[in-house]
Structure 1
Amino acid sequence: MQGSAWSSPENTAVVNSYLRMLLCEWNGIPYNKSSERRALSPMLSKRTDSSIEMKHRNISAILLAYGIPPIYGYKPLPNIQISLEAAVLEGIGGIENFGDLAMQSMTSIGMNSDVPALEPAEIPSVTAPWKSARLRRQVISNDLLAAEAQSGAVHLMALKAVALHEKRTLAASERSDLAAAVEIRKNDYRTGTGLVISRSISGSLRTILVKATNSLAEFPFMVSSDEVDLSLDASSGFRLYRVYGLRHRPGFYKLRGSLRAAAQLTASEYTVLPRS
């Protein structure tokens, strides 16, 4: 049945398989994707491994749209059969304390508390977020993103990792004097959040706002109006380092200068006063 739409039983089977792996990942339990795929195949109508892989990536795109961290190794693919969304929501609804488990996965750093070495990466190519009629009608909470942003453990680990990266980069360029001056400001007065103060090799000031996630590079994050203003005030000296995969293979990408120019900003909350 290659090329045909997936049936409801097939969607249910692939969603259940995906969610089993997701819960293992969140809880730090090893799992094997190949073994899971072999166990899944008999429940499907002669689907190839690549077809199953694409369906797993579709599920990642659905979870991402709902603000839920997907499996780290399945890059979101937003070409989605609408019936798959219903199967995903039904599967999530059948898991006790699913929201609490997601929250825990986003706000803890696991057993390893060593400061990781970060691998620099290109800015990910992010397509327009997948939307459905169901998603547009539902009130989507930013609780998970807010909890991640406020997680002291995740944020502090990322600050230390960025500071370490800056020190090593400057030292490797024979600027040990500048490396020694790299500074972490845990509660900067301008934003109320942590910054790393560094320098370029030429000595110019770098104000680095750090945003961290245990999830993949494409996962969205929150910035405050004060942080956006800081990106304007600091101008060419401003950097946002998006640190991702802290519990997997930590990496980061950079946004330079004004966040209004470098990022897609979507208002999710408003300050309200009555009209006079």
Structure 2
Amino acid sequence: MAEQSRPGENWSAIELDAIIADYFGMLGDELAKRPYVKTHHRLALMHMTGRSAASIEFKHRNISAVLQELGLPWIWGYKPAPNYQDALVDAVDRYLSGHREIVEEQPVLMPAAPKISDDTFTDVPVRTSRPRRPTFERLVRKFDPVERDFRNRRLGRAGEEFVVKVEHQRLIAEDRSDLANRVRWVAMEDGDGAGFDVRSFDRDGRERLIEVKTTNGAAHTPFFMTRNELEVAEERSDHWYLYRVYIFAQQPKIFTVRPPLGSVLQLNPETWRAEPAA
């Protein structure tokens, strides 16, 4: 996108640091449900940098694209625009390295009474394959979204609780309040290890064993699965469901996957179980 006031001139590191800090200020307000006015922020940046409104808007969308790839929340009104330069990746790295709490302390806020709407359940996303540049690959390894979500037990538990409520409402909407009252949060009541987190039902009373995976990132954010989960999915394939909960902190949505998982998901072994050889 061409500059109106400084055409063709790349953003300096100082300018990038300023717009990224301002972006995260707005994002913090959005996640905390505090009101803010984007126009005020944009005008301040225009005054500070001499850039046009269109240029600043597009840079905000570039930042959203980087955060989306990192499996982090982004400002809802700034649709990710992936055509960004390495200098922006470096600037995001600088900011996150100095504010690790943004990555490590992901918000787990959830609607008190989530409502099922027509777009709560979505299709499995189709990932467009774009080669990543080395600069961005290093950033992803440094702030690995898969490992981060896996370690965040509060986020995982909140996602499971959300699914329990969604299942309860789904069954009531299907005129099966008798089954809704039998939905169990297995992972909370019995502990992990069952190979699924929530026991629910189809409308006809058929058991639905749901493994929940939650992220604040986009639908295509990768996630870990354990060997036990994969084995239970195979052994109880007629009843097992994966519920992938995404953009959880902002507008939670779910896509579902049924076995055989390999027909829908790309399963890549990434860890080794190690013990002394002798």
**2:114 alignment partner AA:** P
Residue 156 to residue 84, structure 1, CA distance change in 2 (3 Å): closer
Residue 262 (structure 1) shift: 1.8
1:116 to 114, 117, 125: 114
**Contact persistence 1:211–1:241 (CA under 8 A):** yes
Q: Give percent identity, aligned residues only.
A: 29
Residue 141 to residue 88, structure 1, CA distance change in 2 (3 Å): closer
Q: TM-score, normalised by structure 2?
A: 0.77
* Distance in 2 of aligned mates of 1:142 and 1:266: 19
* Distance in 1 of aligned mates of 2:180 and 2:144: 37
* Distance in 2 of aligned mates of 1:258 and 1:175: 28
What is residue 72 of structure 2 aligned with on the other side? Answer: 69
The alignment of Structure 1 onto Structure 2 pairs a total of residues equal to 266
2:272 to 265, 270, 273: 270
What is residue 44 of structure 2 aligned with on the other side? Answer: 39
1:104 aligns with 2:105: yes
1:84 to 64, 71, 88: 88
Residue 142 (structure 1) shift: 6.6
Residue 275 to residue 158, structure 1, CA distance change in 2 (3 Å): closer
**Contact persistence 1:155–1:211 (CA under 8 A):** yes
Per-residue deviation, residues 160-216 of structure 1 (Å, max 9, x unmatched): 32122222222222223322322220124333xx51112212232211111123444
**Contact persistence 1:68–1:102 (CA under 8 A):** no
* Distance in 2 of aligned mates of 1:114 and 1:256: 28
Q: TM-score, normalised by structure 1?
A: 0.77
1:21-36 equivalences under 5 Å are: 21-25=26-30, 29-36=34-41
Structure 1 stretches of at least 4 aligned residues deviating more than 6 Å after TM superposition: 273-276
| Structure 1, unpaired ranges of 5+ | none
* Distance in 1 of aligned mates of 2:153 and 2:137: 32
What is residue 20 of structure 2 aligned with on the other side? Answer: 15
1:1-276 equivalences under 5 Å are: 1-2=2-3, 4=8, 6-8=10-12, 9-25=14-30, 29-44=34-49, 46-49=51-54, 51-65=55-69, 67=70, 69-73=72-76, 74-93=78-97, 95=98, 98-106=99-107, 108-109=108-109, 114-118=112-116, 119-128=120-129, 131-136=132-137, 140-141=141-142, 145-186=146-187, 187-191=191-195, 195-272=197-274
